[in-house]
Amino acid sequence: MISEYDMMEPFYFGNSARSLFGIYHPPQLEKARNVGVILCYPMGEDYIRSHRAFVRLAMLLSSAGFHTLRFDYYGCGDSEGDSDQGEIRQWLADISTAVEELKGGSDLNQICLAGLRLGGNLAMLAGAERGDIDGIVLWNPVINGRKYIEELTTLHQEKIRNFFPGVKSFSEGESYREALGFPLPDSMLKDLEKLDLYAIRQKPASKILFIESSDVSEDGRFREHLNSIGVSLRYKHIPGFEPWIERDDWGQGMVPIKVLQFVVSWISEMFP
Amino acid sequence: MRDKAVLFGKTKSLVGIITEPTPVFSGNDFPAFVFLNSGFLHRVGPHRLYVKAARKLAEEGFFVLRFDFSGIGDSRASEVESLSDERAINETQEALNYLNATRGIDRFILIGICSGAVISFKAALCDPRVVGVVPINAPVYFDDNEEMRSSVVYDRVARHYWRSALFSLKSWRRAMKGKSRYQQIIRSTTSQIKRLFVRKRDMSSRANNLVADLQVLSARGISPLFIYSGGDRGLDYLQSRLGDEIHELKKYGKLRIEVIQDTDHTFTPLCKQQHLIEILLDWAPGLI
């Protein structure tokens, strides 16, 4: 029997000077739909920790009949570029490149984007700009960029305090920052500071799943905002598993299977 | 772009990224680096460190392959029932076979962090094509000696008391008030004094397997480069395991140990990642 792994295809695509690494998971033939799903990873350490969950999500989507592409943004993962060269504008262009790549290889009627954390923001921004995205999965997006920076900074400082008592910072220059093993240069900080999901007034997609797997859920205002811009919204809270958070056993590779299954069932229902 | 995605192995299910060297530098006398997974982290390595290191090494003329063992990252889980170390060693050899068949490379350097360090060392012992090995933060379970592992943990606790608590007025005040584990302090004092006298004999009896393995590699002209984060438990283990032999091995070039201070197991601080890469760039040309 052919498994999802047998069919998947790792490859590089896009502009040769800014090649992006991707893995295409074709749909299982008997269930194939003319719908493509592009997975939008989060950034930095969130990306490393959630990679395994994304592999599993792609497998489940492929089994459910979706053409699925997961890829690394410029300066991330296996893609071209250094880790300090990432920019939101570039990553949005990368999502567009991925959309064209997936459409180019298959005769697709509809495209969905599914993003975790910052990947959710990128999916929303790309959808609002392009105007041709049919569905979006927002999995614990970064609702406010400034709070996200605070969160990253706090986690980084905690790690330094825990591992290296007495050391205040490892940054070599005053203007250069880092978070959890990844650079956080000024250009990226400026980009992140501007992130505000409430500022998106253009409908990014007609159908959106907003799913949260953190213990504490959003207070409801963001859901109101999504409704106010005319989105058909489904909200789901499945607490208990945040793959982007460092855990004592994070090396054991657990994935939040209930969250992934809900995402696949929602996309399957919305895009039959 | 010098990176290429490949699928290889008996069932073409192992996913790897080849980084091509800069052509002006490379030659047939350059061995290829092969990076092995650190735990369950996929082939980009902790904090994308493997990608950075691979690209820097390629700029110096080295061919580099980073790949995922079966069941890790993007590679399919293996259907073969075997112990994971044994399977990982076989898959490492499949990677070498692939590079040999497709690129004509027949000399290799294995490198890995944590569990990848263990596999790099074990695979180097098995495969004569390996000419260099870089175990990074090889963990305390470098082999299956439970007694040794307990001993390392005990030594670590004892050293803490010997170095800090024993000479701290605050600690003794706490002990007088019954708040400290004074029995631990007494035991550690005895233990450390005993170490001064019995260290050489005791440690030489412990060293056996690892020293023998290092001799095997040395006979093939391989001097492993062990890299550790300062304070990593694996470093304690290596030092305890080798005892006084460590000085002899280093003296005769059978082993090199580099310690990067003020960093954690996965080299979170960027400047420490850079330090690690600089050590590799300094060491690697010696293998050409």
Q: Does B79 touch chain A (CB under 8 A)?
A: no
Residue B265: half-sphere exposure toward Cβ, Cα within 13 Å? 15
- Mean pLDDT throughout B187-201? 52
**CA–CA separation, A191 vs A214, rounded Å?**
25
Name the residue with higher pLDDT: B210 or B110. Answer: B110
pLDDT of B128 strictly over 80:
yes
Joined together, the tokens standing for residue B98 give 């692939």
Partners of A55 on chain B (C-beta within 8 Å) are 73-74
Are B47 and A180 in contact (CB < 8 Å)? yes
The answer for B137, left when phi > 0, alpha when psi is -120 to 50, beta otherwise, is left
The answer to whether A76 and A85 are in contact (CB under 8 A) is: no
pTM of the model: 0.88
For residue B207, give the amino acid letter.
Answer: A
Q: Does B272 touch chain A (CB under 8 A)?
A: yes
Angle subtended by helix axes B182-219 and B233-242, to nearest 10:
70
Q: What are the domain boundaries of chain A?
A: 4-143+201-270, 145-194
**CA–CA separation, B235 vs B242, rounded Å?**
11
Residue of A78, A167, A168, A254 best to disrupt the B interface, most CBs of B under 10 A: A78
Helix (H) or strand (E) holding A246: none
Helix (H) or strand (E) holding A4: helix A4-7
Closest CA to B72 of B96, B93, B92, B51: B92
The answer to whether A257 and A244 are in contact (CB under 8 A) is: no
CA separation (Å) from B112 to B23, B138, B281? 25, 9, 15
Joined together, the tokens standing for residue A191 give 């980009």
Are B267 and A181 in contact (CB < 8 Å)? yes
Considering CB atoms only, which of B3, B13, B17 is closest to A5?
Answer: B13
Q: Does B181 touch chain A (CB under 8 A)?
A: no
**CA–CA separation, B274 vs A217, rounded Å?**
39
Q: Which CATH architecture fits A4-143+201-270? A: 3-Layer(aba) Sandwich (3.40)
pLDDT of A175 strictly over 60:
no
Query: What is the predicted ipTM?
Result: 0.93
Considering CB atoms only, which of B1, B51, B270 is closest to A170?
Answer: B270
Which of A6-10, B71-75, B234-238 bottoms out in mean pLDDT, i.e. has the lowest? Answer: A6-10
Are B73 and A48 in contact (CB < 8 Å)? no
Could you give the residue ranges of the DSSP H alpha helices within A82-204?
88-105, 118-130, 145-163, 186-193
Partners of A182 on chain B (C-beta within 8 Å) are 47-48, 270
| Dihedral Cα A136, A137, A139, A140, nearest 10 deg | 30
Residue of B74, B137, B262 best to disrupt the A interface, most CBs of A under 10 A: B74
- Predicted local distance difference test score (pLDDT) of residue B83: 66
Residue of B70, B72, B268, B275 best to disrupt the A interface, most CBs of A under 10 A: B268
| Residue B173 pLDDT level (bands cut at 50, 70, 90) | low
pLDDT in tens, B3-24: 999 999 988 999 999 999 977 6
| Dihedral Cα A28, A32, A36, A40, nearest 10 deg | -30
Are A170 and B44 in contact (CB < 8 Å)? no
pLDDT in tens, A134-157: 999 999 999 999 999 999 988 888
Partners of B46 on chain A (C-beta within 8 Å) are 48, 181
Task: Report the percentage of chain A scoring pLDDT > 70.
Answer: 90
pLDDT in tens, A83-140: 999 999 999 999 999 999 999 877 899 999 999 999 999 999 999 999 999 999 999 9
For residue B5, give the amino acid letter.
Answer: A
Considering CB atoms only, which of B42, B49, B269 is closest to A51?
Answer: B42
| Residue B211 pLDDT level (bands cut at 50, 70, 90) | confident
- Interface A-B, measured as beta-carbon pairs within 8 A, has a size of 97
3-class SS of residue B232:
coil
